[in-house]
Amino acid sequence: MGDPLKVLVTGSNGFLGSALVDRLLARGVRGVVCALRAGSPRGRLDEVLARHPGAGAAVVTGSLETVAGAAALLDGVGTVLHVAATMRGSTAQIFHGTVDASKNLLDAIAARSPRPRVVLVSSFGVYGVAELPRGAVVDETTPLEPHPERRDDYSHAKLWQEQLFADYHRRHEVPLAVVRPGVIYGPGGVALSSRVGLGFPKVFVALGGGNELPLTYVDNCAEAICVVADKARFDGDVYNVHDDDLITCDDYLRRYRAAVGGLRAVKVPFAAFLALSGLVEWVSEARSKGRRPAKLSRYKTRTTWGGNRFSNARLRSLGFAPIVSTDEGLRRTFEHLAAKAQS
């Protein structure tokens, strides 16, 4: 990173976090600090560290539950790669682990002088795409989601998180760069993104069709974060992260079924599912008298399956290039899934 100070990775034991530690050490970065909550499983992280004996990476048990706990992780740190977030659980749990924890980290950073640089790992879920025409290109100029309350809890929390970081960048001059990954995949990750469709007990409903799928293989996403940490301006600049050779949702599903098998899929056209979403929305609102949002709505359907194209041109302008091809990434992923299904 060209920085004599330490590099702190939050969420270092997660799917992306452990891959990021791996890329940092493979690049020869010294002073990597892997933040780990007490009691968290660390199998992935231990496997990574075992591949880099003598790299000098430190594992520090700590927490972002308080400002003091966050401050204790920052000693000697020049760059923070903030990956940690809560992806599952109740609404309160997701917001607490994503937004409240981030505020504690930011308060600790704002109190330091000089302040460490921050790379925030955000999400494509912050974009407001429901009203975009089919085929519109999503890039860093695409407006943010105007109605996060109509989205899933994770996307809602990530938007709040990103806006919180932007606010501390403006008010407290926290050096900030943001990466927004698309669909992160790879061995050990989610097998079928919701952009491809929805899984039910006996059938997978394929909804993505010919839509472009913004895949980023987990090692490529980690490499992108390293490139941004090296070359970003840290003036609040934002970079979309996805691989170069994107495929369609149909192509991903076809390859998955050929390599892994065991999946019964039914393809539903977008227009038909949009109509069904409207019916579900109407019934839900009638039953709850508007007090509870529908789990399925026309807005969510347009957001997830409306059909966008994507650009990573700004990231490539920093010199990013995928280190794993799409074909190789899919091969590794499906090979892992097939072996898991047979075990």
Which tens digits make up the pLDDT trace of 18-40?
999 999 999 999 999 999 998 88
- Determine the pLDDT at residue 39: 87
Flag whether 102 is in a domain: yes
Number of structural domains (the chain) is: 1
User: Tokens 């309350």 appear where?
Assistant: 149
Model confidence, pTM: 0.95
DSSP string, 82-144: E-----SS-HHHHHIIIIIHHHHHHHHHHTSSSPPEEEEE--GGGB--TTSPTTPEE-TTSPB
Cβ atoms < 10 Å from Cβ of 154 = 19
Cβ atoms < 10 Å from Cβ of 200 = 10
How many alpha carbons fall within 13 Å on the CB side of residue 148?
20
Paired tokens of 227: 């490139």
Flag whether 251 is in a domain: no
Flag whether 53 is in a domain: yes
State which residues form the domain around 142: 6-191+214-246+309-326
Flag whether 14 is in a domain: yes
Flag whether 52 is in a domain: yes
Q: Give the type of residue at 30.
A: R
- Average pLDDT for the chain: 95
Flag whether 273 is in a domain: no
Query: At a CB cut-off of 8 Å and minimum separation 6, what does 265 contact?
Result: 197, 203, 204, 205, 206, 253, 257
Flag whether 36 is in a domain: yes
Cα maximum dimension of the chain: 62
Cβ atoms < 10 Å from Cβ of 227 = 21
pLDDT in tens, 79-109: 999 999 999 999 999 999 999 999 999 999 9
pLDDT in tens, 180-189: 999 999 999 9
Q: What is the CATH number of the domain that holds 130?
A: 3.40.50.720
Cβ atoms of residues 154 and 94 within 8 Å? yes
- Determine the pLDDT at residue 137: 98
Flag whether 321 is in a domain: yes
User: Tokens 């091969």 appear where?
Assistant: 331
